[in-house]
């Protein structure tokens, strides 16, 4: 690791739209991780990156330096090809739950390090933790063993994986630099590449309930991440998918688990099934396996892997899921077609009901959330139930209802949008 750089010079170079050298980038990421570069100095550099961007080689080196700040998982002992998936987050996005066992049932191991929810987007670990006994922490040895024995692991990332990202992510959150596509891409890809999988499929959400609201920025993010993955020897593709309306009919932890089990049993909402199969096909293709995942849904193989995956991490797949103490039904005021159901409105409502957290240390309610009894395109009649709100405390309903107010329209004409918008890679 080169020494002797002046961090102020590095900040000035990027401030003035200059290009950083590879040794400068490697040094500043390492020095920041070790505490040599101060938070205010890294804040200034992050803002300069937000305003002026990183070139292709700069970004590849920045990402590599973040990977090098910690350990890289060794999956060489896994006996089958591996493929991972990452979603940029949305409302009702429970896709990992049916997807991981489905892909595993088709012969590809799925090493899925997931996170917790913050704000209106739900976290995969929060959902799985609503299953009695299930634990998110898995040792590296058990991680590899479960991949070989079961085929899929969904768990929390250890502290040793890309520690530079953990530190920089928290800094970006409080310095107005979250929106930088270069910093988003390097954050996601440093962790995913460090996971050690051979193949990676990215689900880049676009729309009101997504981090990326417009197609152009989502396309740029997808192209940037695919480029980074490919440069680091990971076969990477991305799907751009619609997040203007929630996925499925539930938003909330245990509610989404129950819906995922419906999908694994051969039922479930058509959009959840469609996206699960689309991502599964990409993961199998990228991993070099020729198999139709629809067969594994129909014949029960994916359900068998789900049950084994949950049990391997201490969960009881047969245990009743938690339910909220209170319910409130929202009815349609007039008849027509549900022409709009806004993902962000539903996400905020679920958050306010207790399904999400405002700070990382907050607890979540396993049973809280929103059940959507009607979805976009459905005909409804006056007085028909539209939503069922679930909360542990009825005092939460008022603010949740305020979030839903104006979040849906009942009219005459509905024009369906494609769920999968584009493919990159």
Q: How far apart are CA 379 and CA 244, in angstroms?
A: 19
- Spatial contact of 370 and 346, defined as CB atoms under 8 Å apart: yes
Q: Which structure tokens are listed for 423?
A: 């493919």
- Of these residues, 187, 190, 345, 365, which one is catalytic? 187
Active site residue 198: no
Strand partners, 240: 204, 422
Active site residue 165: yes
Q: How far apart are CA 254 and CA 369, in angstroms?
A: 9
Backbone angles phi, psi at 330, to 5 degrees: -105, 125
Active site residue 191: yes
- Of these residues, 14, 85, 86, 198, which one is catalytic? 86
Q: How far apart are CA 228 and CA 409, in angstroms?
A: 41
- Of these residues, 30, 126, 165, 271, which one is catalytic? 165
Burial class from Cβ neighbours inside 10 Å (0-12, 13-18, 19+) for residue 413 reads exposed
- Spatial contact of 284 and 81, defined as CB atoms under 8 Å apart: no
- Of these residues, 172, 198, 232, 352, which one is catalytic? 172
Active site residue 86: yes
CB contact set of 130 (below 8 Å; sequence gap of 6+) = 253, 254, 257, 321, 322, 366, 367
Q: How far apart are CA 92 and CA 2, in angstroms?
A: 46
Buried b (16+ CB within 10 A) or exposed e, 324-352: bebebebebeeebbbbbbbbbbbbbbbbb
- Spatial contact of 85 and 286, defined as CB atoms under 8 Å apart: no
Q: How far apart are CA 252 and CA 246, in angstroms?
A: 11
CB contact set of 123 (below 8 Å; sequence gap of 6+) = 114, 115, 116, 117
- Spatial contact of 30 and 1, defined as CB atoms under 8 Å apart: yes
Strand partners, 424: 238
Q: How far apart are CA 271 and CA 24, in angstroms?
A: 46
Longest dimension (CA), the chain: 72
- Of these residues, 94, 116, 191, 235, which one is catalytic? 191
The SS3 of residue 95 is coil
**Whose structure tokens read 């990402």?**
63
Closest CA to 326 of 385, 260, 400, 406: 400
DSSP for 194-246, please give it. HTT-SEEEEEEEESTTSSB-SHHHHHHHHHHHHHHHHHTT-EEEEEEEE-SS-
Tell me the catalytic residues.
Answer: 86, 165, 172, 187, 191
């Amino acid at each position: 690791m080169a020494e002797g750089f002046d961090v102020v010079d590095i900040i000035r170079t990027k401030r003035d739209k200059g290009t950083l050298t590879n040794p400068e980038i490697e040094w500043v990421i390492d020095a920041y991780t070790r505490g040599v570069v101060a938070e205010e100095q890294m804040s200034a550099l992050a803002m300069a990156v937000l305003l002026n961007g990183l070139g292709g080689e700069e970004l590849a080196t920045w990402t590599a330096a973040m990977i090098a700040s910690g350990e890289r998982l060794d999956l060489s002992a896994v006996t089958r090809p591996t493929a991972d998936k990452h979603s940029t987050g949305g409302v009702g996005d429970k896709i990992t739950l049916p997807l991981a066992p489905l892909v595993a049932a088709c012969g590809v191991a799925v090493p899925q390090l997931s996170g917790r929810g913050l704000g209106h987007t739900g976290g995969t670990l929060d959902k799985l933790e609503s299953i009695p006994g299930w634990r998110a922490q898995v040792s590296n040895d058990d991680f590899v063993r479960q991949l070989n024995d079961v085929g899929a692991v969904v768990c929390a990332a250890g502290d040793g994986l890309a520690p530079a990202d953990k530190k920089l992510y928290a800094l970006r959150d409080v310095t107005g630099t979250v929106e930088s596509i270069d910093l988003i891409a390097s954050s996601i890809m440093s962790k995913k590449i460090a996971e050690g999988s051979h193949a990676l499929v990215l689900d880049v959400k676009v729309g009101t309930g997504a981090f990326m609201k417009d197609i152009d920025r989502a396309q740029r993010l997808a192209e940037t991440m695919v480029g980074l993955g490919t440069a680091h020897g990971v076969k990477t593709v991305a799907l751009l998918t619609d997040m203007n309306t929630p996925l499925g009919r539930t938003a909330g932890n245990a509610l989404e688990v129950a819906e995922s089990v419906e999908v694994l049993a051969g039922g479930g909402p058509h959009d959840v099934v469609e996206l699960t199969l689309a991502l599964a096909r990409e993961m199998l293709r990228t991993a070099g396996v020729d198999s139709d995942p629809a067969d594994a849904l129909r014949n029960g193989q994916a359900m068998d892997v789900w049950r084994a995956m949950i049990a391997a991490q201490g969960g009881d797949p047969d245990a009743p899921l938690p339910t909220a103490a209170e319910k409130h039904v929202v009815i349609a005021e007039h008849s027509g077609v549900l022409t709009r159901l806004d993902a962000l409105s539903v996400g905020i409502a679920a958050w306010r009901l207790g399904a999400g957290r405002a700070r990382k240390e907050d607890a979540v309610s396993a049973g809280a959330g929103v059940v959507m009894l009607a979805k976009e395109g459905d005909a409804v009649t006056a007085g028909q139930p539209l939503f069922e709100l679930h909360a542990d405390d009825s005092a939460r309903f008022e603010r949740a209802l305020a979030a839903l107010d104006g979040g849906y329209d009942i009219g005459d004409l509905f024009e369906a949008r494609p769920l999968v918008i584009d493919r990159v890679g």
